Amino acid sequence: FQRRYNQAGEIGRHVARMNGVVFLADSLRRVKRTRSQIGLSAGARRRNVAGAFQLKDGEGTRLLGKVVVLIDDVRTTGATVEACARVLAAHGVLAVHVLCVARVVPGEEETISPLEMLA
């Protein structure tokens, strides 16, 4: 199961337009390949994404002292947004807020494959 577009980016674009704020889709970039997070424990997810993100060149000065909203389509453990927030904070971002569309409730995770959901 592989996504064909950036769901969080599409959500962010609309949220920014509705609120009259700047939308920056590519300020963060993945610099390390990571395995799929599906089936990983919270600790394994954090280790998996540790060091996986960096700011693009020039974005540090652009974001210095700013408030940033990270958009995530689905929050399971928060490992990915936590890794991104750490990078932003290390570059002087004043505050990082997270907006997610859906979250996994601990203890209620399903072990159904995406293909089974379509059946």
Per residue in 37-84, pLDDT tens? 888 888 999 999 999 999 999 888 899 999 999 988 888 888 999 999
Number of domain units in the chain: 1
Domain residue limits at 64: 7-118
pTM of the predicted model, to two decimals? 0.79
- Residue 11's pLDDT band (cuts 50, 70, 90): confident
Q: For residue 67, is it within any domain? A: yes
Count of beta carbons in the 10 Å neighbourhood of residue 50:
14
> Are 70 and 81 within 8 A, CB to CB?
yes
Residue 61 included in any domain: yes
